[in-house]
Amino acid sequence: MRYPPAFLDEIRARLPVSQVVSRKVALKRRGREYAGLSPFKAEKTPSFFVNDQKGFYHCFASGEHGDIFTFLMKTEGLSFPEAVERLAAEAGVPLPRVSDADTRKEDQRARVQSAVAAAADFFEAQLKGSAGAEARRYLEGRGLTPETIAHFHLGYAPAGRSVLKEHLAQLGFTAEEMTLSGMVVAGEDIPVSYDRFRHRVMFPITDLKGRVIAFGGRALDADAPAKYLNSPETPLFHKGSVLFNAARARGPAHDRDEIIVVEGYMDVISLHQAGFENCVAPLGTALTDDQLRLLWRMAPEPILCFDGDSAGRRAAYRAIDVALPLLQPGRSLRFAFLPDGVDPDDLVRQHGAEAMRAVLDKAQPLVEVLWEREWKSGQWSTPERRAYLEKRIATLLGRIGDLTVREHYGRELRAKLTEAWPAFSAGHMSTSRATSWQRPGVPRFAASNRMFGPASRFGGRWGYPVRPQASASLKRSALVGPVHVPYREALLLRTLLNHPWLVDHYAERISNIEFSLPAFAKLRDAILSLKSNDISLDSSHLRTQLEAQSLQQVIDLVERAITHKSDRFAEADADSAEVEAGFCHALALHERQIGLKRALEAAEREFLEEGSEESLARLCEVQRLVASLDAETSLD
């Protein structure tokens, strides 16, 4: 079977080599790599190394070298299709159905890539010729050397409406191939197709193998409708999955254990010229989860550079929201903020590489920027508002998928809340004195007994604060306690495990279930994938295949969570009518809960921003509905 390269790349992107190899080899981290005893040859000294950033393993004892697919083929005797099928299921990537039409599509994709590559050569040649004089002056005015211009294969798109189109036609490319490549604009309402990029400096965008797949174009006309113009989405190019300069930067990033993310093409190129070869940029959009995963393949803690103004801060905060569910031990983000009104290009040209290095060296950890965002988002002068902040932080912690990371974030943020609102023994300081006392730089707030328990627990012998004793309810909270397994989510999954035939009737609703734990979502996706490949799949065989995908721990977590004897419909021996009725009821309650959760978050934001009686009334009404649902079900 012929697998599309993009399909195989997606599996590689989702499964680090170390994750696959560590099931058979005990690995220990050594710098940027992992080391272990060779699975191919008996040895006492480790000579087997795994590199997640580069996506391969290498055994110096035997000379074996490969990726996740070859590892399974070598160690388990699988064929290539068998290895692909197993890893695709584990990664949650549906297997492609390759037909004659698919083969033709792949051939067409290759032709489209050739058209884009031909356009890149054309643009580069135009920049060097007489037509590119203005573009050359622009690039020289931005401080770029001829060597840098050549290194990035910068080019120029002529001003004519069909110069590139005619050139590609002479090379034998069809009108359809030109349109699919994004180089030519065509459509039913366009009488004559025309070049997408005209009178622009061209920046080639490559995939990780260095092949040109798209372009960014900078207008030379001051009155152009768009200063920067990117290629549209094409069979080759999905801008949310690509980073500008990733192919060139990943080697230096691996060597330096650092990847720098800036906002624009010129920032990347100027920094590269100044010696920062480990720089990339998203393509005019907010950072996506696919781009984050790509960054983590290059370095464990990418540094995101933003302007120091309010817009830059908002962009950083959006990146945090994308990152929280994806955080893993050893994988995070840092944030570097530039002086107001200065971008990296300006900084290195005006003040040199040392100034940029100083900014990078002051990069803040994600947890610090997260706390800054939450702290500055309101005025915490009342108990109700302080309670809202605590709840907001607990909600954010719940978004962190990895349990260990979540626990450490809980400790860190709890410590910050403790510092913000110090509590003192009522026996040694009056309420008025406790309220007015203020450490340098700490807000003047009274103690928050709701969070930390009775004030009498705080007073040391001399009235100084000691470590608070958390109440039982606090210990169960997302701030300090072990992971909370939502009962209803576990109930839905257990029902599917015991009655996979439900997928045949409710596949779409099941696929749209929002789980608070990423592991639960992964289990759901695996169930859907396995069931779609075998409509007769029963519970026993489903569980066997899920165990083969290393999902047994998640299944155990689901099983342990089910404690209500009344939920008979989830049992394996339940009647089908009872199963369907109970499952639909639980699913409807879960969907209602998710809807109310969103409504509550919106009402809380509105009240915090406006503080009006109307917004308070809306908040109270939503809170009443939430409480009513909780009382009705008492599941979570």
More confident residue, 425 or 103: 103
Alpha helices in 442-538 (DSSP H): 449-452, 472-475, 487-498, 502-511, 518-533
Strands 260-261 and 279-280: parallel
pLDDT (tens digit per residue) in 545-573 = 998 888 998 998 998 888 666 678 888 88
Nearest alpha carbon to residue 232 among 348, 116, 122: 116
Q: How far is CA 457 from CA 35, 424, 434, 460, 467, in A?
A: 49, 9, 15, 9, 9
pLDDT (tens digit per residue) in 404-416 = 899 999 999 999 9
- pLDDT class of 430 with cuts at 50, 70, 90: very low
pLDDT at 450: 33
pLDDT at 107: 85
Q: How far apart are CA 555 and CA 493, in angstroms?
A: 9
Identity at 548, one-letter amino acid code: A
Range scoring the smallest mean pLDDT among 70-74, 172-176, 242-246, 263-267 = 70-74
Q: How far apart are CA 400 and CA 394, in angstroms?
A: 10
pLDDT at 461: 29
pLDDT (tens digit per residue) in 497-507 = 999 989 888 88
Query: Directed axis angle between helix 80-91 and helix 68-76, to 10°?
Result: 120
- pLDDT class of 155 with cuts at 50, 70, 90: very high
pLDDT at 434: 31
* Average pLDDT estimate for 227-245: 93
pLDDT (tens digit per residue) in 164-191 = 999 999 999 999 999 999 999 998 888 9
pLDDT at 592: 80
pLDDT at 621: 76
pLDDT (tens digit per residue) in 621-630 = 778 777 766 6
Range scoring the smallest mean pLDDT among 40-49, 214-223, 285-294, 453-462 = 453-462
DSSP assignment letter at 242: -
pLDDT at 633: 59
Identity at 37, one-letter amino acid code: L
Identity at 499, one-letter amino acid code: H
pLDDT (tens digit per residue) in 329-351 = 889 999 999 988 888 999 999 99
DSSP assignment letter at 465: B
pLDDT at 169: 96
Nearest alpha carbon to residue 40 among 78, 68, 74, 80: 74
* 274 has pLDDT over 60: yes
pLDDT at 484: 65
Nearest alpha carbon to residue 306 among 346, 335, 269, 348: 335
Helix, strand, coil percentages for the chain (3-state, nearest 5):
55, 10, 35
Domains within the chain, CATH numbers bracketed: 5-91 (3.90.580.10), 100-237 (3.90.980.10), 246-372 (3.40.1360.10), 378-475 (no CATH), 487-632 (1.10.860)
pLDDT at 512: 82
Strand ranges in 198-350 using DSSP code E only, listed in sequence order:
200-206, 212-219, 228-230, 260-261, 279-280, 303-307, 334-338
More confident residue, 359 or 562: 359
pLDDT at 135: 97
pLDDT at 102: 67
The per-residue pLDDT of the chain, averaged, comes to 83
Q: How far is CA 550 from CA 174, 537, 546, 591, in A?
A: 48, 19, 7, 28
pLDDT at 120: 97
More confident residue, 484 or 171: 171
pLDDT at 419: 86
* 445 has pLDDT over 90: no
Q: How far apart are CA 121 and CA 164, in angstroms?
A: 11
Both tokens of 255, joined, read 């060597």
Q: Of 36-45, 94-103, 229-238, 360-369, which has the strongest mean pLDDT?
A: 360-369
* 101 has pLDDT over 90: no
pLDDT at 636: 41
Q: How far apart are CA 545 and CA 96, in angstroms?
A: 19
DSSP per-residue string spanning 578-621: HHHHHHHHHHHHHHHHHHHHHHHHHHHHHHHHH--HHHHHHHHH
